[in-house]
Every structure is written in C-alpha cells, then in structure tokens.
Structure 1
Amino acid sequence: MFDHVVFGVSDYAASKAFFLKALEPIGLIVVQEGAHGIEMSADDKTSLCLFQTDEKPARLHLAFVAQNRQQVDAFHRAALAAGGTDHGAPGLRPHYHAHYYAAFVIGPDGHNIEMVCHHPEGQPFQHS
C-alpha cells in the first residue's frame, strides 16, 4: 500500500501510455497533468506520478493491489499489449504465502511492475 509513488522516466509519452493501459483493469485514470508530470489514481487514495528526466533511475518494483485474480490476469494481458515484457505470468506464488496470486511485467524503463491479489479465489475484497 502507498500514498503516492513518484519517479522519473526516460520516455514520458511511452511510460504514460504503458501505465494507463496496463493498469486500466484496476481503473487507473489521469488525475492531473502539467509541467511537473502526471498524477494517476485508481482509488482517490493513492497516486502514481511520473515525470520526464534524462537521469537513469535505479529499477523499481511497484506492486499494485488487485481486488480479485481476474484483475491480475487482465493486468498481465493489458501490460503485454501496452509493450511490457513478461516477467512472470499470472499465478500463485506460495513461497510468499498460500494465496499470493500475482503477475509481473517489465515496463518501458526496466521497472518490475506487479499486480497482486492476497486473498483466496472467490473471497470478497476487503480494503483495510
């Protein structure tokens, strides 16, 4: 869980398009965009913010919360369609915990982008 994540990207247009498409399954939309970059959110509680930079940032691992396993599956398909590289197909990762269902892709700047659902199949999502 996070309030906001801010990082620089080498190709603003490609990264903006990638994250909007890849995270469409959880309802990510543009909140605001201007001279300082873009703020996107899916829940009015947390934000993902990008800005153009010539610096080469260290790789990040961003994990987004899915309400169900279908969102994890949809994220993986959408992220690949948006130009991401597969880094782990949707599936259980029992070495983390019994119900850890996730998918991973590498985004335009080499960041490891994950979508994860922590509860058993069919159990309703409860946001804490």
Structure 2
Amino acid sequence: MFSHVTVGISDFDRALAFWRPLMAGLDQRERIIDPAKPWAIWQPAAGGRPLFIITTPFDGAAPAPGNGAMVAFMAPDRATVDRLHALALTLGGRDEGAPGLRPGYHPDYYGAYLRDPDGNKLCLVCHAAAP
C-alpha cells in the first residue's frame, strides 16, 4: 500500500542519532544516508519498500508535525516495543504513552507512543498475542 513515509526534521545529525538505532531495532536497513542533501532512507532488511525517510523540508521552511499525523512501526513482539520505547527516550524522544495493551483497538494491540526530537509522533506496535 505504501511506497514511502517521510517526516520533516530540523537538525540532521540529531535526527539521525535518534532514528538510526530505532530503525536498526526494527530490522530496517540503511539505504541512503546523505548529510549533504540532507536525508536518510531506510528500507526493509529484505530490500524493496516501503521506505522510511527523514529530511529537512524541500521548501526550506521549518518542519512542523501534523496535528493527528503519526507513523506507526510494527514490532515483531512486545519486548521490542518496550525496548525501543525506552531507547527512544534516552535518545531525546518524548513519551506520549507508555508501552501497554490498548484493548480499545483490539485485544492484542500492544503499543507505545512518543515524539521524536522534532515533535513527529510515532507509535511502536505489536499486534500479536502474548506468547
């Protein structure tokens, strides 16, 4: 369904330091890291799409997170949600909802919410039942 998802950043080095370990933890491999552009692109370990991209806005204006906009990353298990949420907080992320079940979505929805250093909202989620 998706070709790529792009989020705006204001400081490439800071954003890369935040996103790089999270993408590695989700088994996404680096496709392009180009500080001169500046942008960084990740893709699934097996290749192909979808791509996840961080970049400064092409129009040169300041990035601005959307109200109601969020990117949700699927984690393979609940432990990965917990681990990456904690990691993101140490990398300058801001908590928007601790890891836990959200049965209002469905009985096995286990998610965590946070914002990156530029204010972009993200979710780490596992849809699988507990082992």
- The TM-score range, normalised by the shorter chain, is 0.7 to 0.9
Q: 1:56 to 1:26 in 2, by over 3 A?
A: closer
Q: 2:43 aligns with which of 41, 44, 63?
A: 41
1:102 matches 2:106: no
Runs of 4 or more consecutive aligned structure 1 residues displaced over 6 Å after TM superposition = none
Q: 1:81 to 1:42 in 2, by over 3 A?
A: farther
Deviations along 1:16-42, one digit per CA (max 9) or x if unpaired, are 111112333212332112325211124
Say whether the 8 Å CA contact 1:22–1:82 is kept in structure 2: no
Say whether the 8 Å CA contact 2:25–2:84 is kept in structure 1: yes
The residue identity in structure 2 corresponding to 1:57 is A
CA drift at 1:15: 1.2
1:72 matches 2:76: no
CA drift at 1:82: 0.9
Unmatched segments (≥5 aa) in structure 1? 123-128
Deviations along 1:36-83, one digit per CA (max 9) or x if unpaired, are 521112432321111123333233311001111111111111111111
Q: How does the TM-score come out when normalised to structure 1?
A: 0.84
Partner Cα distance (1:3, 1:66) in 2? 19
1:81 matches 2:85: no
Partner of 1:126: none
Q: How does the TM-score come out when normalised to structure 2?
A: 0.82
Matched pairs, number: 122
Percent sequence identity over matched residues? 32
Considering only aligned residues, what root-mean-square deviation do their CA atoms show, in Å? 1.8
